[in-house]
Amino acid sequence: MRVRLDDASIGHGVGADVPPLSVTVADGTPTVIAVETAQRPMLVSLLLGGRIGVDSGSVTLDGADDLAALRAGSALVDTPTVAEPHAGVTLATLVAEELAFAGLPSSKRAVNEFLDAQGLREHARVAMRTLPTAPRLRLLCELALARPGVDALIVTSPERHGGDVAEWYGALAAIAARGTAVVIVTDAATRGILIPLGARDASAPQHPAELESL
């Protein structure tokens, strides 16, 4: 899967909610996009996932203008106000709800098996707000990937939960290595940490040969 934003914007001029943005996202290695202001990470995530349209520029999936396919194949992960689990919900309740949403068995047994696979069974009754960032993101990503047809994850502002950046990046890199497109929409400071860890800078100029491989 290759998603491209070419001068994609929401609004116009100095007051644009998202000024023209050009990035390329593909699978294999987590891609990092740095944007500033409180609302912009959420809006950029919605653009990448085909949830909203642009006022100018374009958003394409594998070269095609097909927002319906982009919506079907992508999931927003921990996106504030859009796809962020309630802080007080327990892991067991969240997993049951997400499995049901994915059309999968959501019985207590199914929930326990899912949590076992994530090494989180003993934390079944723990509230999401207390879960460290790395297992939080891993759990939310695996739940998103349980939905039929999802092969791209858009993770929004993970730095807001604190924790060791290298640890939670490692969890996302392991998922990307399975062939899933993983995008991390974050701030400039966190991008500065992620790039040396191996993340690809989505806004960096790409050579023709690199673009062909994406």
Q: Which domain holds residue 100?
A: 90-126
Overall residue count recorded for the chain in this entry: 214
Residue 38: its pLDDT value, please? 86
Residue 205: its pLDDT value, please? 60
Q: How many domains does the chain have?
A: 2
Same domain, 140 and 168: yes
| Per-residue model confidence as pLDDT tens digits over 48-90 | 999 999 999 999 999 999 999 999 999 999 999 999 999 999 9
Same domain, 145 and 190: yes
Same domain, 116 and 196: no
Same domain, 96 and 198: no
Same domain, 180 and 208: yes
Same domain, 104 and 81: no
Q: Which residue has the tokens 């116009």?
A: 12
| Per-residue model confidence as pLDDT tens digits over 148-173 | 999 999 999 999 999 999 999 999 99
Same domain, 102 and 121: yes
Which of 101, 126, 151 marks a domain boundary? 126
Pairing type for strands 2-10 and 74-77 reads: unpaired
Same domain, 163 and 143: yes
Same domain, 71 and 118: no
Label residue 36 exposed, middle or buried (CB < 10 Å: 0-12, 13-18, 19+): exposed
Same domain, 119 and 152: no
Which of 126, 150, 174 marks a domain boundary? 126
| Per-residue model confidence as pLDDT tens digits over 88-143 | 999 999 999 999 999 999 999 999 999 999 999 999 999 999 999 999 999 999 99
SS3 102: coil
Instruction: For residues 109 and 107, give the distance between their C-alpha atoms in angstroms, rounded to a whole number.
Output: 5
200-201 β-sheet, strand order: 74-77, 152-156, 181-186, 31-34, 200-201
User: Whole-model pTM?
Assistant: 0.93
Instruction: For residues 21 and 42, give the distance between their C-alpha atoms in angstroms, rounded to a whole number.
Output: 14
Same domain, 82 and 168: yes
Beta bridge partners of 3: 25, 61
